[in-house]
Amino acid sequence: MKRTREYFSIPNLMGYFRIALLPVFLLLYYRADSKTFYLAALLVLAVSFLTDFLDGKIARKFNMVTDFGKILDPVADKLTQGGIAVALTFQYPLTVRLLVFFLLKELYMAVMGLILMKKDRKITGALWYGKACTCILDAGILLLLFVPNLPLLVSNAVIYLLMAVMAVTWGMYLLFHIQMLTTGEADSGRTKGKRRGLLITGIIILAVISFVLCAILPYRRQPEVSSEYMESFQADSFYGEGISADRAVMIEDNGAALRERIRLISQAQERIILSTYEMRSDTSGMQIMAALRAAALRGVQVELLLDGFAFWTQVEGNPYFYALETTDNVEIIVYNRANVLTPWKGMSRMHEKYIIADDRVYLAGGRNTFDFFLGDQEGHKNYDRDVLVYNTGGADSSVHDLVLHFEETVAQKCCSLWRHGKLLENSASVKRAAAELDRLYVRMQAENPQQFEAIDYADVTFPVNHISLVSNPGGLYPKEPWTFWTLCQLIKHADTETIIHTPYIICNDYMYDMFTEICQKNENVMLMTNAPSTNGNYFGAVDYVLNKEKILDTGLKILEYSGNYSYHGKSILIGDRLSAVGSFNMDIKSAYQNTELMVVIDSREVNDQLEDIFLDYQREACPAAESGSEVEELFSGDVPGRTRMVRRVIMWLDPWIRFLM
């Protein structure tokens, strides 16, 4: 009878009631396609929190505290937390991992609680670190629950933080349970607690320092170009005698760049290859994903190559990418996936941007796959450039070289196929995302049918004598600067004016020497880059100001672009025949750390088109002065306070970390 009264005391009945509310909350939240359902779900959750607040007070005031209640209350807490985590999987698929980890931890806690009861050990209830873990979990889960549409990086960071807190708490409980089982009581000495805290703090500080050093020190070494590669270079091989199988045209407008990508994807019959540094689920990114999914559903093989760091910040945890990956005929390949356990690999990035359709046509250039670079949406933009290359059917087309380059890249050990498991595939958020992509594709066809119409690329492209692909060597860690060296050699061999456009210029001594050597041989070398005021890259803006005199001392004629938006084009006019377009920035990172791709085109017509484009931009540029007030302008009152603060930090760090830029 006493045991029955203990089980059915008022505080324990409130605990049962709290558990019973869980399926009601989950059903309402899952069906919350209107404000009414959403508010009803939150009301049920509020009632659950209220009973949790009251049951302990009632138990203590009316002397209803029981050993069973000490177990039931945290179990009800954990079930509530787990239920909310389940609800979050409807929106954030990554919370499935949080839920699995949570269930494993609580299963352990339940088993150990029963073992301690069986051995007649004193049940103390939740310890301070358990309560702290519960508070942090509640705060994080409620943040995800009540603030929908958090930036992906924020939601991922919250989820991983909660998992880390649970891991630390689990470890501390493990030590506690070992002590309880061996001695029958837990040590509560403050001295040992302080020592343990200092030890943990010291370990964390040492781990952070080690992580930073391991991440940056391998990249201090910047290798020279090998004699074998130099001997293999022949400037004449970049020129052709007659008309090749390729035809080409520049794609300058952001809106046209998105439309041509949609057209390529919608017209593909066999295979689509898309390589991009960064892809987001914004307006243009969603349209690309919808088109890729539609192509895969009609039987086209879709291969998407993404950089590992951008994958972590934009893809992992994003239900739209999960929906795309779960589609038949889709493979998502990740280059050098970010891993905190291997920080020495972290600076090696995949920076190439191109899309190939059926070995017939491709786009290559410097555009990432999101709204800054694609589409006619309002808001911030980056001006960039693609070259569209059309294969008329010959075996000598450069499209075959680009396909081979892609296959060699994904065959490297640092590339891995993204597999997330059936658990995430079947989550409600992923299914909803797939349905939304399908609806979006239908809407795109209705609202802009022109971008789905086939065109004769021969009518909109120019004849080409020859196309060459220039890239850095494969693999991780510092690379020989093949792309930079090759472009410099082509410029040196040109006896007429050369114009370089680059978003930013960050050089080491070797690169300064190369530019000096070029300018001594060819006095007509001009370089246009963003003025500090328009440069969207904080590092690029600050380093340019700090090292401007060194750049001018090379003999380069510098123009500073001051248009409405940041200029992101990476192209070179070499004489009156060669045009180079691609992903290579004139900086140390592109030269030594990243994979990069430049398409070098021998065509007078394409060269003329690119020259006209250059002249349009250069009308909004001014010659760089040898000295001026750029440093003061970086921190003027017109600059937002946050930007000024970041620039000051970078200015202090620049001499120490510029070898990474």
Regarding beta strands 566-567 and 621-623, do their DSSP bridges make them parallel or antiparallel, or are they unpaired? unpaired
Indicate the CATH number of 465-660 among 3.40.50.10470, 3.40.50.300, 3.30.870.10, 3.30.450.20. Answer: 3.30.870.10
Tell me which residue of 369, 392, 354, 365 sits closest to 273, measured CA to CA.
354
Helix, strand, coil percentages (3-state) for the chain, rounded to 5, are 55, 15, 30
Give percent of the chain above pLDDT 70: 89
Tell me which residue of 596, 598, 597, 590 sits closest to 661, measured CA to CA.
590
pLDDT of 185: 62
Collect all residues with Cβ–Cβ distance below 8 Å to 479 and sequence separation of at least 6.
223, 472, 473, 592, 593
What is the pLDDT confidence band of residue 105, given thresholds at 50, 70 and 90?
confident
Average pLDDT of the chain, as a whole number: 86
Backbone torsions φ then ψ of 628, nearest 5 degrees: -175, -160
The winner for highest mean pLDDT among 56-65, 315-324, 449-458 is 449-458
The winner for highest mean pLDDT among 216-220, 307-311, 462-466 is 462-466
Tell me which residue of 362, 402, 364 sits closest to 579, measured CA to CA.
364
Rounded to whole angstroms, how far apart are CA atoms 77 and 49? 9
Summarize pLDDT for 528-580 with one digit per residue, the tens: 999 887 887 888 888 998 999 999 999 999 999 988 888 999 999 999 999 99
Type of residue at 145: L
Q: List the chain domain ranges.
A: 2-188, 243-460, 465-660
Give percent of the chain above pLDDT 90: 49
What is the pLDDT confidence band of residue 449, given thresholds at 50, 70 and 90?
very high
Q: Report, as an integer, the average pLDDT of 588-593.
A: 96
Fold of 2-188: Four Helix Bundle (Hemerythrin (Met), subunit A) (1.20.120)
Rounded to whole angstroms, how far apart are CA atoms 605 and 595? 29
pLDDT of 1: 47
Question: Residue 647 above 90 pLDDT?
Answer: no
555: left (phi over 0), alpha (psi -120 to 50) or beta: left
Cβ–Cβ < 8 Å for 550, 333: no
The winner for highest mean pLDDT among 229-233, 419-423, 648-652 is 229-233
Collect all residues with Cβ–Cβ distance below 8 Å to 580 and sequence separation of at least 6.
470, 487, 490, 571, 572, 574, 598, 599, 600, 601
Rounded to whole angstroms, how far apart are CA atoms 174 and 318? 34
Question: Residue 421 above 60 pLDDT?
Answer: no
Q: Are 243-460 and 465-660 the same fold in CATH?
A: yes
pLDDT of 171: 81
DSSP per-residue string spanning 6-31: HHTSHHHHHHHHHHHHHHHHHHHHHT
Fold of 243-460: Endonuclease; Chain A (3.30.870)
pLDDT of 129: 74
Question: Residue 121 above 80 pLDDT?
Answer: no
Cβ–Cβ < 8 Å for 350, 595: yes
Single pTM value for the model: 0.83
Question: Residue 24 above 90 pLDDT?
Answer: no
Crossing angle (nearest 10°) for helices 35-61 and 10-30 = 170
Crossing angle (nearest 10°) for helices 128-146 and 152-183 = 160
Cβ–Cβ < 8 Å for 330, 302: yes
